[in-house]
Amino acid sequence: MFVIGKIKTYIIAALGILLPILYVLGRKDGKKLEKANVLADELQAKEKANDFYKAMAEHEDTFNPSSRSDLTDRLRRDGL
Give the pLDDT confidence of 10-59 residue by residue, as tens digits: 999 999 999 999 899 889 988 999 999 999 999 999 999 999 888 887 76
Model pTM? Answer: 0.50
**Does 13 fall in a domain?**
yes
> In the chain, at which residue ranges do the beta strands (DSSP E only) sit?
none
Is 47 inside any structural domain? yes
Q: Helix, strand, or coil here: 49?
A: helix
Backbone angles phi, psi at 63, to 5 degrees: -110, 120
Which residue range forms the structural domain that includes residue 44?
2-60
Domain count, the chain: 1
